[in-house]
A and B are shown apart, each in its own frame.
Chain A
Amino acid sequence: MKQLALFLAAALFLSIGCNTSTKTSTYTLSAAAFESAGPYFEGANTFTFSHTIDPSLLADSAGFSKERIASVRLLSAEISPASGQTLDLFRSFSLALMGNASESLTAAVLNPLPANASQAKLGVSAESDLKAFFKEGTFYLVLDADLKADHEEALTLLGNLVFEITF
């Protein structure tokens, strides 16, 4: 009887410990300017955007500590050309995240880019957990843009990215 009581007490303790509610929130990056020094050559050219967030502030706004960030997933990624430029120059895009202390991850791709597209909506990877980058705070968003031909004028690509953070 005593053993059963102990077992029940332990089970109740474990149940309270594990029954922590999860919450999701979104983090949006609008018009992130991906840049690369030209001239550009036919094939994959690397455009980068460096971003810094305060993970504590981000978690705090959701009512959690940054240690409680359980996963971060890219929900959507759209690329558009800067004013006066066109996407007709490109064949495909792939987007990766890189950090000083985190292993780089590819998060989205669009190949091929539809003809005459004014905006590129990339397919996102559901498997890429980007938590490490958000906990690190500063990371690079790296857009590999496959150019159809050599190009001399400066190019900028704008990204609208939405992340889902699970606490």
Chain B
Amino acid sequence: MNLFFKSALSLLFFTLSLGLSAQADADRLLGVWEPSNGKARVKIEKIGPKYYGKIVWLREPLDPKSQQPKTDKNNPDEALRSVPLKGYRLLKDFTYSGNNAWAEGTIYDPENGSTYSCTITMKDPNTLDIRGYIGISTFGRTDVWKRLQIPGK
């Protein structure tokens, strides 16, 4: 009996540690990242079981014409064109699919108001390949994002 409980307890701890390890693996995506053009910084956070990325910094935060903070002026839905770009969630609905990849998500390009299917692959702890595509992943474009390093760390 004692042996049975010991075995059951060991199995429970093993299962729990596997779950926690998978969770930690998936959460490596969290942080602030910078696309290759350096125009913005995107904070990836977790809401429920999914990962989302929102703009937290813009190199040029003001609209050159109006001198007001930029908004999502190219959104196909006219009612949402006043959503501020700073704070805009452009990476949506990613889930961890294992092997350093997050899938099932979309990326929004505020410069043309288009949304693309997207996969994220972590090349190393500070580098992401962000691949946006229409239809199948073969026809798409990959951008390299770098983790924002905090000076002194």
> Given A109-B82, A127-B77, A142-B47, A104–B87 Cβ distance below 8 Å?
no
A44–B56 CA distance with the chains assembled, in angstroms: 7
Interface of chain B residues 73 through 114 with chain A (CB within 8 A): 77, 79-80, 82-84, 86-89, 92-93, 106
**Which residues between 68 and 93 of chain A lie within 8 Å of chain B, taking CB atoms?**
91-92
Least Cβ–Cβ distance between B143 and chain A, in angstroms: 21
Known: A43-B86, A44-B84, A98-B47. A103 touches B92 (CB 8 A): yes
| Of A44, A98, A126, the contact of B87 (CB 8 Å cutoff) | A44
Q: Which of A131-163 touch B at CB < 8 Å?
A: 140, 142, 144, 146
A contact residues around B87 at 8 Å (CB): 43-44, 94, 144, 146
A94 touches B48 (CB 8 A): no
B119 on the interface (CB 8 Å rule)? no
The one of A43, A44, A98 that contacts B48, using a Cβ cutoff of 8 Å: A98
Contact indicator A111/B47 (Cβ below 8 Å): no
Q: How far is the CA of A99 from the CA of B49 in the complex (A)?
A: 9
**Chain A 86-117 near chain B by CB (<8 Å), digits 1 or 0:** 00000110101011100110100111000000
Please report the C-alpha to C-alpha distance between residue A88 and residue B125 in the assembled complex, in whole angstroms: 40
Q: Are B54 and A127 in contact (CB under 8 A)?
A: no
Judge whether B79 and A111 touch: CB under 8 Å. Answer: no
Given A43-B56, A100-B48, A100-B49, are A94 and B83 also a contact pair (CB < 8 Å)? yes
Say whether A128 faces chain B, with CB atoms less than 8 Å apart: yes
Assembled-state Cα–Cα distance A52/B47 (Å): 15
Q: A106-B83, A111-B82, A125-B79 are in contact. Are A44 and B54 (CB under 8 A)?
A: yes
B89 near A96: Cβ-Cβ < 8 Å: yes
In the bound complex, do residue A106 and residue B84 qualify as a contact, i.e. CB atoms below 8 Å apart? no
Closest Cβ neighbor of A45 among chain B residues: B87
Contact indicator A123/B86 (Cβ below 8 Å)? no
B56 and A46 contact, CB distance less than 8 A:
no
B50 at the interface (CB under 8 A from A): yes
- Residue A124 interfacial (CB < 8 Å): yes
Could you tell me if A123 and B82 are in contact, using CB atoms closer than 8 angstroms? yes
Docked complex: B35-69 residues within 8 A CB-CB of A: 45, 47-50, 52, 54-56
**A106 B80 Cβ-Cβ under 8 A:** yes
On B, residues with C-beta under 8 Å from A are: 45, 47-50, 52, 54-56, 71, 77, 79-80, 82-84, 86-89, 92-93, 106
Q: What are 6 residue pairs bridging A and B, where the CB atoms are less than 8 Å apart in the complex?
A: A46-B45, A98-B93, A100-B48, A103-B92, A125-B77, A142-B47
10 additional A-B pairs beyond A44-B84, A98-B47, A100-B49, beta carbons within 8 Å, are: A94-B83, A94-B84, A100-B48, A106-B77, A106-B83, A109-B82, A111-B83, A124-B79, A125-B77, A146-B87
